[in-house]
Structure 1
Amino acid sequence: MKRKVLLFTTLLLTTFVFQGMNSARKNRTKVIAHRGAWKNTGVPQNSLASLQHAIRLGCYGSEFDVHMSADSVLVINHDHTIQGVALETTPAAQLAAIKLSNGEALPTLEAYLNAGKKQKQTRLILEIKASQVSKERSLALAEKCVEMVRKTKTRALVDYISFDYDVCKKVKELDPKAQVAYLNGDKTPEQLAADGFYGLDYHHSIYKKNENWIKEAQQKGLTLNVWTVNDQPLMEWFLERNVDFITTDQPELLLEITKAQ
């Protein structure tokens, strides 16, 4: 009789543990605002205002894109040009005169990081944009980004991402403890794990074509981020697969869905 009671108690406890683990797993997916929270707020992408909106929403992270000016100043913008001006071949003084639609100046990386470090809840997801001029400039940009993160004392808040694998490896070389994820989608979880990466950060179509990579990455302890997911059915598909992060232009919608789970 005692043995039966003990067996029943053990089974009951095991059930509760697994239920708890599954519940935690389902609710662990975090929201990253793509270029900040801009789509539903009316502020420019990659602006200090879009960062502040992402922070106010309670997003886990706010993603932004970094380029290097002709005289090696780091500035934030998605495209390689803004208002017809090429970022890489234009000096910083000229870029500083450019105004965004809300009246902000084109942000520098230093200004963005200094604004972001005034809080502790929202991570700063720094995308290093590969140079259109040369590989050397891409690697120089990676080095300057790591230097600026150190200068602003924001290492504890910053994750790095890039489409350029050499850039990702350069960041790891400069700061072995940095959390670095690769964007391009052409490397297996095994390759990323071997090179010491933090995780995969692939377009949703890549995961759809290689669904086995999701479990493989999880088994190897790699994080899974997916971009750019803006409709609810696709959000729910990835939530069911327990990805770590979803990057979206609709953080408000995704936050609402995750909170309801």
Structure 2
Amino acid sequence: MSRHPYLSHEGPVAFAHRGGNLEAPENTLAAFEHAVSLGYRYLETDVHCSADGVLVAFHDSDLQRTCGIDANIADLRWAEIAELRVNDLEPIPRMIDLLDRWPDRRFNIDCKSDESVDPLIELVEQRGLLPQICVGAFSLKRLRALRTRLGSGLLTSMAPAEIAALRLIGRLPGAQPRAAQVPTAAGRLTVVNERFIANARRAGVPVHVWTINDAPEMHRLLDLGADGVMTDDVAMLRNVMIERNVWSG
């Protein structure tokens, strides 16, 4: 298994997906605050870029679902975004706000747009974040740009094409550290099973499964040997890990 500093953790990793969204709106400081209060060390979030180059912790490209506004993040300046409220309750934070609030936590950052690549690279370089982050993207082009420019010290998740290669042939090209961050299934196709876990073990790749909000499924995946679970229900996952005597928050 890779010894990247981000992965130096005893037992399976519990990820607070978008901070968890049962106690507070997703990807807000209040959501992450709740997860941290429960002992979570690994916080998963997403980044988009404002029109004036500010990275914000936000999942969707548009504001309709969470803020009820017919507008795109990329079309608004940070000063405008700062006035909005998620679910009419909590402001949208900048990525730098999360890092400043919890400098000792580890962040899983999903780079959601091409426009976010340059600001994210700049932030990582300015803050020296490589030991405490894993960066993901569904776009292989985006991942390749991040890997090339940030170098071999960057841990990334894997694009769908890389997951398919790991699933089918059990190996990956290149030596850069990676994590298989995957759903249990893609449509009718099962992704996480004994074979996939075994292939990942041989390739030295940890398997982190998203997004699991059911206790029996959490137990099943941990029994299979998953190295981490991402959840919206941070209290539930914590309780499952405490029950299994693997909680180390």
TM-score, normalization by structure 2: 0.80
Pick aligned residue for 2:233 from 250, 255, 258: 250
Give a deviation string over 1:40-86, Cα, whole Å, max 9, x none: x2x11101111121212112311111001122221121111123221
Which structure carries more relative contact order (alpha carbon 8 Å, separation 6+)? 2
Pick aligned residue for 2:197 from 190, 210, 214: 214
Alignment partner of 1:145 is 2:120: yes
Distance apart, 1:217 and its partner CA: 0.7
Alignment partner of 1:169 is 2:155: no
* Aligned partner of residue 127 in structure 1, secondary structure: strand
Instruction: Find the aligned partners of 2:60 and 2:214 in 1 and give their Cα distance.
Output: 24
Pick aligned residue for 2:154 from 164, 178, 202: 178
8 Å contact 1:193–1:220 — kept in the other structure?
no
Change (3 A) 1:183 1:55: farther
Instruction: Find the aligned partners of 2:159 and 2:57 in 1 and give their Cα distance.
Output: 18
Q: Which structure has the larger Rg?
A: 1
8 Å contact 1:51–1:62 — kept in the other structure?
yes
Pick aligned residue for 2:206 from 213, 223, 230: 223
Instruction: Find the aligned partners of 1:93 and 1:147 in 2 and give their Cα distance.
Output: 21
8 Å contact 1:28–1:242 — kept in the other structure?
no
* Aligned partner of residue 235 in structure 2, secondary structure: helix
Instruction: Find the aligned partners of 1:144 and 1:88 in 2 and give their Cα distance.
Output: 13
Give a deviation string over 1:135-175, Cα, whole Å, max 9, x none: xxx1x422321211232343332211111112122221122
Give a deviation string over 1:169-208, Cα, whole Å, max 9, x none: 2221122201101254753225645362411111111483
Instruction: Find the aligned partners of 1:102 and 1:64 in 2 and give their Cα distance.
Output: 20
Pick aligned residue for 1:205 from 185, 192, 206: 185
Structure 2, unpaired ranges of 5+: 1-9, 245-249
Instruction: Find the aligned partners of 1:199 and 1:187 in 2 and give their Cα distance.
Output: 13
Structure 1, unpaired ranges of 5+: 1-26, 131-137
Alignment partner of 1:105 is 2:88: no
**Equivalent residue, structure 2, for 1:70:** 51
8 Å contact 1:193–1:222 — kept in the other structure?
no
Identity, in percent, stands at 23
Higher helix share: 1
8 Å contact 2:130–2:155 — kept in the other structure?
no
8 Å contact 2:182–2:191 — kept in the other structure?
no
| Structure 1 segment 1-261 matched on structure 2, within 5 A | 28-39=11-22, 41=23, 43-82=24-63, 83=67, 84=69, 85-101=71-87, 103-117=89-103, 120=104, 122-130=105-113, 138=114, 140-175=115-150, 176-182=152-158, 184=160, 186-189=163-166, 190=170, 192-194=172-174, 196-206=176-186, 208-209=190-191, 211=193, 212-261=195-244
Distance apart, 1:37 and its partner CA: 2.7
Change (3 A) 1:250 1:103: closer
Instruction: Find the aligned partners of 1:204 and 1:105 in 2 and give their Cα distance.
Output: 32
Change (3 A) 1:183 1:248: farther
